[in-house]
């Protein structure tokens, strides 16, 4: 909401939507139906307690047009239990994802290749078990996907990637926003 | 301390006014605290503790036993619309709650404050598919402004206080409070404090003077300004400010069907109705004006027609309390995100006195064309055909001197009713606008009459809509609620038939109705009634109905294949409004 678009509003881009809420039963559902009703697919969604105690941060990634996101965020902000909702294009954020890969121990034993791949891709081995190893890789989608492709020949037993966690580049904190918002209303 | 917490700290702390009551009693005491004296409802297993407690409250709370929960929700809507207070309805869990949903959805889209209290199965049974268990919060989530499930009696006062605050503040809407049976049964120390602040809820934006100045500048420069207003004027109780504003700036003004009656029909600046079946002038002038001033309305598609060809030549000012409505359908050049009354009060001193005589006159020139081509024959038929809906409404309007409350259902009769009733008083029009709920009218009229017992309440219903909720004749009879019900019977689902005629090559697919004896139905319910099918008796029958003490059903057999014109065909530009 802070940023005006400097590109064609008909262009689809990745946006990060933040919703700061109180911890209320059913609120996740209330937020999600705003998207589903408009046929907008959520690419990823994470929820956690924010830097303010008792306030939860939903981080929602969608691919959409600017005006679509703007309307969505207004609908989210309108929900009674939502403290604040905002959105940012990718370039105004720093984000990260994490992926876990489960590989059979036999692949590790039979070749040194896996170890080399792990080292070269700046991943790390999280757990070693007699039957399997679990590799952890933090990185953007293309990086975790590349590692997936490299590990594929060794047999990936399980693969799981987290939703995106996002921090904005600007320096204003949530409290300042909330104060501003509270002042804008009676 | 964080601001979120600071704001939370400011939330009201309950004062000490403690007494030991059951959750059920707590619900009713909360209603009394909020000034409620009327409830529409229907009992059932999961809400029995509340009904048991209600037995002892009957001196302070009047409960109307509706015949179907949908009727309860619509009755509460009618009550809310006429009184401006929140309407209250009760229902049990499962089917009782799901039967409310049409009314809740209607209230949500038409911004009507509603408090729906539903019983729920015991909390230990939640999620077990218990008898009459429905996830009513989940089911109603898309159509409620807020909802809350109470599983402990102690939560009741706060939940109820928040419910009333949320339902009635800002842009109003329906709130659902679902209460498990064990929470109704448990005893707790009751204390009540009204709510007027919630940390995460911002119902009324602060007026920004810069926005007002920008709006006033546009209005003062305009050569062809045009006001379109909606229910925001009524909800904000801004009728006086609105009138002063348009009179000073000389602004022709047209209404959405939910804004109707905020300004008397015959006011010299009231140029009529917007949208699909609105008046000719307001539709074509939308695409001729240079400044379009929208007040408390949301640019519904039935008002705008094709958005790509809607008022493109005009600068648009949008005065609206709900930020999410601004730039939703139509881009506003100047957005005033504020309460209508406050905004108009601030605008008034800044707008210059103007008359725009020629421009205003052009609306009446357009009206003349419409009158000659469409209206005259509907209001004063010269042919010997069947009774016209329009003439029926005209006669009702004349005999009630424009002072009745007009409640309409959905369809042709609705458009005709609102086009031709000559409103003299504000808050006199009740209809289902956004949702277009057939079956709304009879229960809503019942609720309106309960809310305004001293006013004449006339329900105008089609033969289709009447049969969707006619069971409420039982409630009307039991409590002798003196509504006057006029069934405009054309033995057709008239509006659908009209579309079939115009857009589906007269393929009248399942729109013809073989109807029962409506007067006989009324009589079976102990309600007086009569039927008229000839013009010469129409006036006399309406007179008789209006003079009758108590409820009355008048069946008017109207012309079978009458069409409502003008009409902006769906998806067309408002400029392409058809007169025939």
Domain that holds residue A52: 12-92+170-183
Report CA torsion sign: B405, B407, B413, B416: positive
Give domain status of residue A5, yes or no: no
Same domain, residue pair A103 and A83: no
- Contact between chains at B3 and A175 (C-beta distance less than 8 A): yes
The percent of residues above 90 in pLDDT, for chain A, comes to: 76
Q: Give the model's pLDDT for residue A3.
A: 46
The distance of B207 to chain A (nearest Cα, Å) reads 8
Q: Give the phi and the psi of residue B40 in degrees, each rounded to 5.
A: -110, 130
Q: Report how far residue B162's alpha carbon sits from residue B24's, in angstroms, rounded to the nearest whole number.
A: 17
The residues facing B87 across adjacent strands are: B114
Residues of A in contact with B138 (CB under 8 A): 26, 29
Cβ of residue B20 closer than 8 Å to a chain A Cβ: no
Residues recorded for chain A: 186
Quote the CA–CA distance of B472 and B89 in Å, as a whole number: 15
A172 has pLDDT over 90 = no
User: B253 has which bridge partners?
Assistant: B227, B270
As given in the structure block, the two tokens for residue B481 are 């609620």
Judgement on whether residues A68 and A137 belong to the same structural domain of the protein? no
Whether residue B322 and residue A77 make contact (CB cut-off 8 A), yes or no, is no
Instruction: Clarify whether residues A56 and A86 are in a common domain.
Output: yes
CB A76 within 8 A of CB A19: yes
Together in a domain, A87 and A179: yes
Across the interface, whether the CB atoms of A71 and B324 are under 8 A apart is answered yes
Do A75 and A30 sit in the same domain of this protein?
Answer: yes
Taking CB atoms and an 8 Å cutoff, what residues of chain A touch B142? 33, 37
Chain-centre distance for alpha carbon B504: 31
Same domain, A26 and A118: no
B138 has a chain A CB within 8 A of its CB: yes
Do A33 and A73 share a domain, yes or no?
Answer: yes
Whole-number mean pLDDT of chain A?
Answer: 91
Whether A4 maps to a domain, the answer reads no
Facing A185 at nearest CB: one of B8, B149, B206: B206
The 3-class secondary structure across A55-111, one letter per residue, is EEEEEEEEEEEHHHHHHHHHHHHHCCCEEEEEEEEHHHEEEECEEEEEEEHHHHHHC
Q: Is the pLDDT of residue A62 over 60?
A: yes
Query: Does the distance separating the beta carbons of A21 and B324 come in below 8 Å?
Result: no
- Is A155 within the bounds of a domain? yes
3-class secondary-structure state, position B66 = coil
CA of B126 vs chain A CAs: smallest distance (Å): 14
Domains of chain B, start order: 3-190 (3.40.50.970), 209-363 (3.40.50.1220), 386-557 (3.40.50.970)
Distance from CA of B148 to the nearest CA of A (A): 9
Q: What is the dihedral of CA B7, A183, A66, A162, to 10 degrees?
A: -20
d(CA B48, CA B119): 8
Asked if A20 and A70 sit in the same domain, the reply is: yes
The answer as to whether A1 is a domain residue is: no
Residue A58: CATH number of its domain: 3.30.70.260
| pLDDT interval class at A2 (50, 70, 90) | very low
What is the number of other CB atoms lying within 10 angstroms of the CB of residue B467? 19
Cβ within 8 Å of residue B281, ≥6 positions away: B254, B271, B272, B362, B363, B364, B365, B366, B367, B370
Give the number of A-B residue pairs with CB atoms closer than 8 Å: 81
Tokens of B241: 């400010």
C-alpha separations of B107 from B36, B79, B143, B516 in Å: 18, 12, 8, 31
CATH code of residue A102:
3.30.70.1150
Q: Give the tens place of pLDDT for each residue, B126-168.
A: 999 999 999 999 999 999 999 999 999 999 999 999 999 999 9
Q: Across the interface, do A26 and B141 touch by the CB < 8 Å criterion?
A: yes
Question: Is A57 found in the same domain as A24?
Answer: yes
- Whether A69 and A125 map to the same domain: the answer is no
**pLDDT by residue (tens digit) across A18-59?**
999 988 888 999 999 999 999 999 999 999 999 888 899 999
Minimal C-alpha gap between B326 and chain A (Å):
9
Q: What is the pLDDT of residue A110?
A: 83
The count of domains in chain A is 2
What pLDDT score was predicted for residue B13? 56
Q: Report, as ranges of residue numbers, the positions in chain B whose pLDDT lies below 70.
A: 1-17
β-strands B87-91, A82-89: how paired? unpaired
Nearest-by-Cβ selection for B4 from A30, A55, A185: A55
Domain shared by A109 and A79, yes or no: no
Residue A74 and residue A107 share a domain: no
The structure's pTM equals: 0.94
* Predicted confidence band of residue A6 (pLDDT cuts 50, 70, 90): low
Answer for the pair B494, B413: CB distance below 8 angstroms, yes or no. Answer: yes
Q: Are the beta carbons of A77 and B137 separated by less than 8 Å?
A: no
Of B322, B338, B7, nearest in space to A177 by CA: B7
Residue A7 lies in a domain: no
How much is the pLDDT for A1? 42
- The verdict on B123 touching A (C-beta cutoff 8 Å) is no
- Whether A33 is covered by a domain: the verdict is yes
pLDDT at A22: 87
Task: Check residue B375 and give its pLDDT.
Answer: 97
Candidates B142, B149, B205; nearest CB to A37: B142
d(CA B21, CA B153): 9
State the Cα–Cα distance between residues B457 and B85, nearest whole angstrom.
Answer: 18
Residues of B assigned a catalytic role: 69, 131-132, 181, 495
Prediction ipTM score? 0.91
pLDDT digits (tens, 9 = 90+) for A120-169: 999 999 999 999 999 999 999 999 999 999 999 999 999 999 999 999 99
């Amino acid at each position: 909401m802070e940023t005006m678009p400097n590109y064609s509003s008909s262009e689809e881009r990745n946006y990060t939507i933040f919703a700061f809420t109180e911890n209320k039963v059913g609120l996740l559902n209330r937020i999600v139906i705003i998207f589903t009703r408009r046929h907008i697919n959520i690419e990823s969604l994470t929820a956690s307690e924010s830097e303010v105690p008792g306030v939860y941060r939903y981080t929602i990634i969608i691919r959409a047009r600017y005006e679509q996101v703007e309307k969505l965020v207004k609908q989210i902000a309108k929900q009674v239990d939502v403290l604040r909702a905002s959105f940012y294009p990718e370039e105004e954020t720093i984000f990260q994802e994490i992926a876990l890969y489960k590989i059979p121990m036999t692949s590790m034993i039979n070749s040194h290749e896996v170890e080399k791949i792990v080292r070269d891709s700046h991943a790390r081995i999280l757990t070693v078990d007699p039957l399997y190893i679990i590799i952890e890789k933090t990185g953007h989608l293309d990086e975790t996907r590349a590692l997936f492709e490299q590990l594929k020949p060794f047999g990936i037993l399980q693969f799981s990637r987290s939703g995106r966690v996002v921090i904005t580049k600007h320096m204003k904190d949530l409290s300042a926003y909330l104060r501003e918002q509270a002042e804008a209303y009676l | 301390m964080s601001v979120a917490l600071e704001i939370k700290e400011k939330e009201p702390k309950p004062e000490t006014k403690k007494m030991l009551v059951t959750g059920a009693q707590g619900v009713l005491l909360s209603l009394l605290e909020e000034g409620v004296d009327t409830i529409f409802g229907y009992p059932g297993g999961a809400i029995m503790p509340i009904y048991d407690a209600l037995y002892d409250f009957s001196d302070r709370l009047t409960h109307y036993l509706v015949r179907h929960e949908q009727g309860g929700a619509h009755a509460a809507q009618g009550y809310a619309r006429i009184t401006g207070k929140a309407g209250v309805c009760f229902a049990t869990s499962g089917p009782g709650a799901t039967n409310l949903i049409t009314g809740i959805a209607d209230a949500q889209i038409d911004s009507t404050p509603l408090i729906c209290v539903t019983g729920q199965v015991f909390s230990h049974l939640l999620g077990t598919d218990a008898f009459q268990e429905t996830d009513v919060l989940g089911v109603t989530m898309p159509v409620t402004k807020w909802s809350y499930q109470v599983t402990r009696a102690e939560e009741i006062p706060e939940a109820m206080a928040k419910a009333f605050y949320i339902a009635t503040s800002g842009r109003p809407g329906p709130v659902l409070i679902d209460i498990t049976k064990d929470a109704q049964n448990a005893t707790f120390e009751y204390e009540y404090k009204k709510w007027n602040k919630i940390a995460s809820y911002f119902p009324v934006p602060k007026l920004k003077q810069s926005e007002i100045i920008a709006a006033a500048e546009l209005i003062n420069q305009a050569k062809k300004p045009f006001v379109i207003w909606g229910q925001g004027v009524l909800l904000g109780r801004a009728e006086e400010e609105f009138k002063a504003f348009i009179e000073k700036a000389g602004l022709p003004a047209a209404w959405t069907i939910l804004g109707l009656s905020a300004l008397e029909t015959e006011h010299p600046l009231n140029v009529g109705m917007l949208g699909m079946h609105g008046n000719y002038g307001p539709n074509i002038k939308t695409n001729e004006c240079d400044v379009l001033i929208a007040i408390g309305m949301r640019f519904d598609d039935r008002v705008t027609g094709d958005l790509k060809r809607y008022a493109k030549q005009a600068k648009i000012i949008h005065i609206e309390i709900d930020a999410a409505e601004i730039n939703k359908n139509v881009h506003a050049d100047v957005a005033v995100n504020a309460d209508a009354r406050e905004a108009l009060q601030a605008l008034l001193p800044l707008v210059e006195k103007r008359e725009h005589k020629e421009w205003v006159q052009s609306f009446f020139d357009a009206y003349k064309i419409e009158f000659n081509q469409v209206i005259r024959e509907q209001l004063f038929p010269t042919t010997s055909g069947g009774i016209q809906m329009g003439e029926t409404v005209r006669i009702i309007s004349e005999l009630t001197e424009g002072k009745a409350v007009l409640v309409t259902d959905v369809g042709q009769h609705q458009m005709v009713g609102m086009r031709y009733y000559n409103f003299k008083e504000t808050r006199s029009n009740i209809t289902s606008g956004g949702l277009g709920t057939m079956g709304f009218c009879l229960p809503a009229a019942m609720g309106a009459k309960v809310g305004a017992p001293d006013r004449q309440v006339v329900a105008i219903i089609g033969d289709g809509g009447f049969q969707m909720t006619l069971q409420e004749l039982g409630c009307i009879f039991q409590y002798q609620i003196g509504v006057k019900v006029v069934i405009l019977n054309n033995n057709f689902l008239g509006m659908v038939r009209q579309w079939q005629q115009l857009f589906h090559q007269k393929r009248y697919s399942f729109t013809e109705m073989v109807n029962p004896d409506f007067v006989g139905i009324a009589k079976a319910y102990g309600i007086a009634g009569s039927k008229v099918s000839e013009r010469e008796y129409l006036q006399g029958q309406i007179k008789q109905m209006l003079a009758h003490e108590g409820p009355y059903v008048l069946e008017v057999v109207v012309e079978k294949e009458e069409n409502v014109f003008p009409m902006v065909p769906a998806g067309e530009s408002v400029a392409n409004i058809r007169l025939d």
